[in-house]
Amino acid sequence: MKFEEIIEQQRFFFNSNHTKDLNFRIDTLKKILFLLKENEHLLYKAVYDDFGKSEFETYTTEFSLIYHEIKLAIKKLKSWSKRIKVRTGFANFPAKSYIIPEPLGTTLIIGAWNYPYQLSLLPAIYSLAAGNTVILKPSELSSKASRAMATLINSNFESNYFHVVEGGVSETTALLEHRFDKIFFTGSIPVGRLIYQAAAKHLTPVTLELGGKSPAFIFADCDMKTTAKRIVWAKFINAGQTCVAPDYILVEKGAEEKLLKALYKELEKYPKTFQEFSDHYMQIVNTKNFDRLNQLIDESKVCFGGTRDRDARFISPTVLKDVSFEDSIMEDEIFGPILPILTFSDLDNAIHQVKSRAKPLACYIYSRNTTSINKLLSELSFGGGAVNDSVMHLSNSNLPFGGVGFSGIGSYHGKAGFDAFSHFKSILHKPFWFESHFKYAPYSASKLKWIKRIME
């Protein structure tokens, strides 16, 4: 079936108002939850075949979030969909005012490969929860996971409601030629620009979840052992292929050696060669990304790790020290298991260095000093982050997840996910039993006097 036929069928089905029924939406969410749980073993195998991701990591970083968000949407959907009463003001007395959440229409979700289930299904789930139809285009780089989602969804849902399109650049380009009521994209900044340009032709609203170089500030007063444990986990989960992973460390001068010792202790738990490959580590997604990462490793600055195996697409957790902002590894987001360490003695200068670059998707601060923490939180702009932890802010549905500037447009998770796929229609509702004469002709000085008193 051609893309235009699927899109037109989805638009026709949406206009039937069937998707606006709350019970229909809740039943859809329950069905997705059931299908995912019933087919977990097949989905685990698919992503393992793509890049060696274990069942443990797939559950903790993907399915746990998906299941939590589905259950939250089922529980909260009726309250999220209610009319929102707001104050009216004396100028419109007597009247009531309210806002009606309504679905946008036919939506396109373009997922990413690094968390193929979470980053494809979560936006789709919230689009369906809001009452839209969905065309889902997973990343072709995680081809086995893409095929698993397509098989599962397309065999259980009609294409006029929820449909997965497989393929690569040509399929995505063809889809973007058509008008949608919302496009949600997760991926790189260069591709995000292309999505934005294509959407602009149709004045289609977009949510762009992109990336950037997310710093982790580590101060000498932190608990270094706990800091190292949390940093290592956050950086090397998914072999560093995480958009909110700490991209680099800025450690207070004088605390670097203490940090390195704590990092080494944690990194001893990770494989040093592909022959030691274990469930808590994984491969680089493809050879192209392996080669890109391989070129970023300056052998003279490796202080831990650095083992590479191109055939196995394996790079051991690697730490670089004596790095400066002028080094090539500091130019773009790393998106791999390489952790550069820079030092700072002047916090203002460190902040200046970060602010002189594109706004990051995340920022992490490890310190007990409230003044330092608040200074960074108030002076640096970033999508979201954590104090004395990394990455885990994503697990809180009450914290909208998204970027700012080059790291993204819009946010989702929890109610923010519902809001991202909804239009909030504002209504002023008046009775007929009273009407003031002040705004109507003929005008007079006394009427203007009263209007000024009422309106201001």
Neighbours of 167 (CB within 10 A): 16
Question: In one letter, which amino acid is 216?
Answer: A
**Distance, CA of 92 to CA of 115 (rounded, Å):** 50
* Residue 137, C-beta contacts closer than 8 angstroms, at least 6 positions apart: 108, 109, 110, 111, 164, 165, 166, 167, 171, 172, 175
Catalytic residue among 62, 69, 209, 333: 209
**Distance, CA of 401 to CA of 365 (rounded, Å):** 18
Closest by Cα among 105, 114, 174 to 134: 105
Q: By three-state DSSP, how is residue 206 classified?
A: strand
Neighbours of 194 (CB within 10 A): 16
Q: By three-state DSSP, how is residue 214 classified?
A: coil
Name residue, tokens 């209504």: 427
**Distance, CA of 127 to CA of 125 (rounded, Å):** 5
Cis peptide before 271 (omega within 30 of 0): no
Let me know if 209 is a catalytic residue. yes
The helix, strand and coil proportions of the chain, stated in percent and rounded to the nearest 5, come to 45, 20, 35
**Distance, CA of 139 to CA of 112 (rounded, Å):** 5
Helix axes 347-355, 370-379, angle to 10 degrees: 20
Catalytic residue among 57, 243, 252, 363: 243
Burial of 233 from C-beta contacts in 10 A (0-12 / 13-18 / 19+)? middle
Question: In one letter, which amino acid is 53?
Answer: K
Asked if 316 contacts 269 with a C-beta cutoff of 8 angstroms, the reply is no
Q: Which helix (H) or strand (E) holds 302?
A: strand 302-304
Q: What letter would DSSP give residue 406?
A: G
**Distance, CA of 69 to CA of 78 (rounded, Å):** 15
Let me know if 243 is a catalytic residue. yes
Tell me which residues are annotated as active site.
209, 243
